[in-house]
Amino acid sequence: MGPFQWTPQIAVGNDHIDGQHRRLLELANEVAEIMATNDYDGILKALDGLLDYTRVHFRDEEEILRQFGYADIDQHIAKHHQIIASVDFAWRQRHAMTGEELFLIVRDVILRHITVVDGEYRQIFG
C-alpha cells in the first residue's frame, strides 16, 4: 500500500474513468516508492510514465464526457490543458529540481484534479 488510495468517495460512477483514476493513483504510489530510494533516473522514468498515462486518461475522459453530453465539457478540457501545461513546464525544469520537488508539483496538480475536480461531472453518470 502506498500513500495514495482510491476510495469510493472519489468514484465518478463510470467504470472506465474510475479504472483509470485507480491506475493513476497506483502510478503515483510507484513514484513515491522509488522516491524513497533516491534513484533520480528511476524517479524521472516513473514520473514520465505517470505523465504519459495522464495524457491518455485526459483524452479518454474528454471523449466519454462528450458522449454523455456533459454541459461544462469545454471548461473541463481547459482544466486538463492547464494541468498539462504546468506539468510540462515543470518537466522542462526537471534538472534544476530534486525528484521530490518535481513529484510534489505533479502530485498536487494531477491528484487534486482526479480526487476533487473530476467530482464536478459525477451527476452525468447518475
In the complex, the residues that contact Fe ion under the rule CB under 5 A are 61, 114, 118
Closest contact distance (angstroms) between CB of 61 and Fe ion is 5
Q: Which is nearer to Fe ion, 97 or 111 (CB)?
A: 111
Closest contact distance (angstroms) between CB of 37 and Fe ion is 29
The residues, any chain, with a CB within 8 Å of residue 20's CB and separated by 6 or more, are 53, 56, 57, 60, 61
The residues, any chain, with a CB within 8 Å of residue 79's CB and separated by 6 or more, are 113, 117
Q: Which is nearer to Fe ion, 25 or 114 (CB)?
A: 114
- Number of C-beta neighbours around residue 97 at 10 A: 14
Q: Which is nearer to Fe ion, 43 or 109 (CB)?
A: 109
Closest contact distance (angstroms) between CB of 85 and Fe ion is 15
Rounded (10°) CA dihedral 43, 45, 47, 48: 160
Closest contact distance (angstroms) between CB of 121 and Fe ion is 8
Q: Which is nearer to Fe ion, 52 or 100 (CB)?
A: 52
Nine-digit cell at 116?
A: 476533487
CB-nearest residue to Fe ion: 118
